[in-house]
Copies of this chain bind each other. A is one copy, B any other.
Amino acid sequence: MWIFRSVFLFSDLLSFCCCFFFLQKSVVDGVLPSFRSVCGEDGVSLSEAIREQHGKDESVHKCCPPDVVVFPRSVDEVSALAKICHMHCLPIIPFGTGTGLEGGVGAMKGGVCFSLRNMDQVLDLHVEDFDVTVEPGVTRKALNSYLRDTGLWFPVDPGADASLCGMAATSASGTNAVRYGTMRENIMNLEVVLADGTIINTAGKGRRPRKTSAGYNLTNLFVGSEGTLGIITKTTLRLYGIPEAVVSAVCSFPSVQAAVDSTVQILQSGVPIARIEFLDDVMIDACNRFSSLSYPVTPTLFLEFHGSERSLEEQVNTSEITQCNGGSDFQWAKDEETRSRLWKARHDAWYAALALRPGCKAYATDVCVPLSMLPQIIVETKEDLIANKLTGPIAGHVGDGNFHCLMVLDPNDPDELQRVHLFTERLARRALAMSGTCTGEHGVGLGKRALLVEEMGAQAIQVMQSLKETLDPKNLMNPGKVLQ
């Protein structure tokens, strides 16, 4: 979709864009001294390599480099730079680690990339209150390393070592969400720089009550706004006690239905399961090859239980449920090394999929449906993949009803591109027809803007559009993303 849309629009827009970019380029040249006066010579880069690096994420969306990359060191510098951009109508694109999957960092209209990597301090850790505030350069792994000796951790884990403010911006989640929630549920406060340089704190400066009903929920308006409403310069996060004991297990099933039925029954039983991940036969085969494993090549669940030693004994009775559904005996991963190997294999699913077809690229679909719809949508989707000769191993956070087809495709084969494009649209519409969403955790970015309209309906989109126009009337914040 992302590629075809560009082609369709390209001829119409070419002459306008050339003119626009030429004009904007000269504006950028004119403001460089101002940028340098804010964040120093080293804080402003026009290097082609740096710009290219900041014009793309991990998706197949083509690189759209910004005109310039700035590296602010504080919120005041972010604000000062934003004011300059605002005055000169230059687009602003916030950049964390570039690990997004929906083309969210491409500079579709050129402009200024704000790389936030130099703001990398962990601030205000409150161990007794289970909260911490971090700057946007802090990644989830860096935070958890920092927390190691405190007995606390931050559980939201999208796989990639993304920045926490970037995860806030895309409403990320991942394997632990079934127990600990997504970024939406785990952010207590944000510091945000608006398009005109105004600095706000969404729950009031320095505030960190565990709950509040004070005014409109600005925090969750910015969570998931993908840089289109403001630049997140601080986030205050909920932390959790590191569980006394952790056990992981792998269980193979005769069918998708059996694996998903087990998932629903485990959740219904009230077991506070921490992770419950589905891999279809193609995915487990790819993981076996890539990570030198030897799991049976059938639909599989990777599970993880967190708790005290004693509560784990009970949780692992979950195996009675899986056995009733024809599941294999659990293969346990009890010590940390074995568990790490297991979850590394799961997190490496992306690379395992890519390795199925060397030289190809990958694109992850991201639909999410009510649990009861999962067997049907996964079975239909697998039939669709086979009928259209597409490689798309399936991995999913089935406890949330969210799964990904990791589409491996040859970007130089237009016929395959077209088949993938049509497949992803069919899959999204299948999810929409089942009361679901086209994106459970990756966001809308560039490629799902049209689907978002189908999903939300014209009136809700109009409300979103009016919110965008209110907060960013010049359409400078990450233009061309989320909304059309």
Which positions in A face B, CB cutoff 8 Å? 126, 128-131, 151, 170-173, 177, 181-182, 184-185, 194, 198-218, 220-221, 223-225, 229, 240-241, 243-244, 264, 267-270, 272, 307-308, 310-311, 314, 368-372, 400-402, 432, 435-444, 448, 452, 455-457, 459-464, 466-471, 482-483
Residues in B with CB closer than 8 Å to A443 are: 213
Residues in B with CB closer than 8 Å to A268 are: 130, 151, 241
Q: Please determine whether A225 and B216 come into contact, CB atoms closer than 8 angstroms.
A: yes
CA distance A207 to B439 in the complex (A): 12
A4 to chain B, nearest CB (A): 21
A225 to chain B, nearest CB (A): 6
A480 to chain B, nearest CB (A): 14
A115 to chain B, nearest CB (A): 23
Q: Please determine whether B372 and A456 come into contact, CB atoms closer than 8 angstroms.
A: no
A-B residue pairs in contact (CB < 8 Å), sample of 17: A128-B264, A129-B370, A130-B371, A131-B370, A198-B459, A212-B368, A213-B439, A215-B456, A215-B483, A216-B221, A216-B482, A217-B224, A220-B220, A221-B221, A270-B307, A311-B314, A469-B470
Q: Known interface pairs A217-B221, A264-B128. Does A371 touch B210 (Cβ–Cβ under 8 Å)?
A: yes
Q: Which of A311, A441, A468, A482 has the most CB of B within 10 A?
A: A311
- The one of B199, B225, B471 in contact with A466, judged by C-beta atoms closer than 8 angstroms, is B471
Q: Please determine whether B457 and A215 come into contact, CB atoms closer than 8 angstroms.
A: no
Q: Please determine whether B440 and A213 come into contact, CB atoms closer than 8 angstroms.
A: yes
Q: Please determine whether A457 and B205 come into contact, CB atoms closer than 8 angstroms.
A: yes
CA distance A184 to B310 in the complex (A): 32
CA distance A438 to B207 in the complex (A): 11
- The one of B184, B241, B455 in contact with A207, judged by C-beta atoms closer than 8 angstroms, is B455
CA distance A268 to B151 in the complex (A): 9
14 new A-B contacts, CB < 8 A, other than A209-B440, A214-B452, A217-B220, are: A129-B372, A171-B213, A184-B217, A200-B460, A209-B435, A210-B400, A211-B402, A211-B440, A211-B441, A215-B444, A215-B455, A215-B456, A217-B223, A241-B267
A120 to chain B, nearest CB (A): 23
CA distance A181 to B185 in the complex (A): 9
Chain B, residue nearest A399 (CB)? B210
A167 to chain B, nearest CB (A): 11
What is the copy number of this chain in the assembly? 2
Residues in B with CB closer than 8 Å to A307 are: 270
Q: Known interface pairs A218-B460, A456-B215. Does A207 touch B435 (Cβ–Cβ under 8 Å)?
A: yes
A101 to chain B, nearest CB (A): 11
Q: Which of A215, A369, A483 has the most CB of B within 10 A?
A: A215
Q: Which of A200, A369, A460 has the most CB of B within 10 A?
A: A460
Q: Known interface pairs A207-B435, A270-B243. Does A441 touch B370 (Cβ–Cβ under 8 Å)?
A: no
Residues in B with CB closer than 8 Å to A243 are: 270
Chain B, residue nearest A226 (CB)? B213
CA distance A214 to B194 in the complex (A): 21
CA distance A467 to B467 in the complex (A): 7
Q: Known interface pairs A217-B184, A269-B241, A452-B215. Does A470 touch B459 (Cβ–Cβ under 8 Å)?
A: no
Residues in B with CB closer than 8 Å to A199 are: 459
CA distance A171 to B212 in the complex (A): 8
Residues in B with CB closer than 8 Å to A468 are: 216
CA distance A212 to B202 in the complex (A): 21
Residues in B with CB closer than 8 Å to A207 are: 435-437, 455
